[in-house]
Structure 1
């Protein structure tokens, strides 16, 4: 078995999305409390393995389409670096390990992990082909991470944070679909059937709608929590920069955008520093 290809199959760069589990303690002012890192290790690892298992299954189901895609044909499965039986074995081991670890956190956390796996599996098997429903499935994955983080650390997720994360996830999911439609052009439907069902201009409209809503809910969140309201301009810049990236054909994957787009990375880092100073600067 090709070890490097097997690790790549797990998509470790996508584990950044699972940092959402640490949002409740970070934004709740508890991230520096003793034992937080140890308390978050099992939940984070559990969700990383759970998400990796769904990525592997998704790649297995999409391997024939990916083989015809200019970029995706270089992925471990369509390229032949990892065989189909090996990929199924990796997915099964990742899934079992994830659930084993989740059971040690709490019954509710295990239920949230199972819910995430159910949504992700349904998405891979069928729902990703249904316009609009595919966007809500992606958003549900982020919300389940957020709620799982709240459960793992014993912190209640506020209504404004819930709404902000939901709308941000919808914004990013729509941007990713729009980017795919722009980059694939006339062959978009061959790679993702749902793209055929989005009328011209629809994805742009949804992205703008969700982006504006994120700005409103995030502003309400920081005001209600007496946090740095000066991070709102950063939020605005980040949203507009992502739209600009998508419209210029730069790719809409959230993780790739954050890691490869320097302005987005800097804005994200500044946001974390400013919020961190607002919450922990006086300690």
Structure 2
């Protein structure tokens, strides 16, 4: 049972909280029935995302066995056989998409798009430089749009741009940390890493981080009371950058859960937003 729970990567479900952002930031999350309306889409994304993680583990089983960290994953280590993992992935995908079809609005379209992009990413796109970063970033954007569709809340242009650029920033940081941690063998574990010239990922991370700060500031100005969250956004961007450059790990979920200053910053941001919108 424990290997299957590890296969799900339940800690990555934290990303699916993005589904609640449109309703939360619009002030609609407290409307009668809104939370009940959002739990089914949340469950659907959790199951579908876990299905893509299992599929990725199946595709990468051979290379993962040579990776210093990933070799401990259930499929790579042999704790779960390839046929059992394949059946598990199909079951997760079927139930997840089934739940998505029962959700309101066009939610299911974004869920299917997320699933298709991630399958293509595992099969081929992750080997293409820049394209691999955009594929990772698309997951956050599709969650945001899916949350808007499920809640019936329109996602503003500035919020869309902020999430899109933040996703690119985090994805670039993840690749930069991988490239630095694996050193000369980076290309053997992830083909796209050998295609990034020296300094490119650093520059891309600085560029997208600056763009995030601009777009989020514009979003905060459009909402007036949220302007006081901009300093927290700035601190969070700088803290994540320092973590990556120190080799502390670039995975966004791990960074939030394991880095206390980032965790506190995220909590304070949520509290300030809630006070500004709902008080």
Superimposed CA distance per residue, residues 79-100 of structure 1 (whole angstroms, 9 cap, x where no aligned partner): 1111111100110000000111
Of residues 137, 145, 148, the one that matches 2:135 is 137
Contact persistence 2:37–2:151 (CA under 8 A):
yes
Structure 1 residue 30 displacement after superposition: 1.0
2:182 matched to which residue of 1?
A: 184
Of residues 17, 24, 31, the one that matches 1:33 is 31
2:261 matched to which residue of 1?
A: 263
Structure 1 residue 106 displacement after superposition: 3.5
Alpha-carbon distance in structure 2 between the residues aligned to 1:251 and 1:52: 21
Across the aligned residues of Structure 1 and Structure 2, the Cα RMSD in angstroms comes to 0.8
Structure 1 residue 108 displacement after superposition: 1.6
1:87 matched to which residue of 2?
A: 85
Contact persistence 2:105–2:150 (CA under 8 A):
no
1:214 matched to which residue of 2?
A: 212
DSSP 3-state at the match of 1:32: coil
> Greater shift after overlay, 105-114 or 241-250?
105-114
1:249 matched to which residue of 2?
A: 247
Say how many residue pairs are matched: 279
> Greater shift after overlay, 102-111 or 39-48?
102-111
Alpha-carbon distance in structure 2 between the residues aligned to 1:130 and 1:99: 28
Matches within 5 A, 1:73-222: 73-106=71-104, 108-222=106-220
Structure 1 residue 54 displacement after superposition: 0.3
Structure 1 residue 113 displacement after superposition: 0.9
Alpha-carbon distance in structure 2 between the residues aligned to 1:83 and 1:37: 38
Is 1:44–2:42 an aligned residue pair? yes
Alpha-carbon distance in structure 2 between the residues aligned to 1:236 and 1:108: 34
> Greater shift after overlay, 235-244 or 225-234?
225-234
Alpha-carbon distance in structure 2 between the residues aligned to 1:108 and 1:41: 16
Alpha-carbon distance in structure 2 between the residues aligned to 1:104 and 1:20: 19
Structure 1 residue 22 displacement after superposition: 0.2
Gaps in structure 1 of 5+ consecutive residues: none
Structure 1 residue 163 displacement after superposition: 0.1
Superimposed CA distance per residue, residues 84-129 of structure 1 (whole angstroms, 9 cap, x where no aligned partner): 1110011000000011111111462111111111111111100000
1:226 matched to which residue of 2?
A: 224
Alpha-carbon distance in structure 1 between the residues aligned to 2:190 and 2:242: 23
> Greater shift after overlay, 242-251 or 222-231?
222-231
Gaps in structure 2 of 5+ consecutive residues: none
- What is the TM-score when the length of structure 1 is the normalising length? 0.97
Runs of 4 or more above 2 Å deviation: none
Structure 1 residue 181 displacement after superposition: 0.3
Superimposed CA distance per residue, residues 114-145 of structure 1 (whole angstroms, 9 cap, x where no aligned partner): 11111111111000000000011111111111
1:11 matched to which residue of 2?
A: 9
Superimposed CA distance per residue, residues 154-209 of structure 1 (whole angstroms, 9 cap, x where no aligned partner): 00000000000000000000000000001000110010000000000000000000
Alpha-carbon distance in structure 2 between the residues aligned to 1:242 and 1:84: 36
Alpha-carbon distance in structure 2 between the residues aligned to 1:182 and 1:31: 41
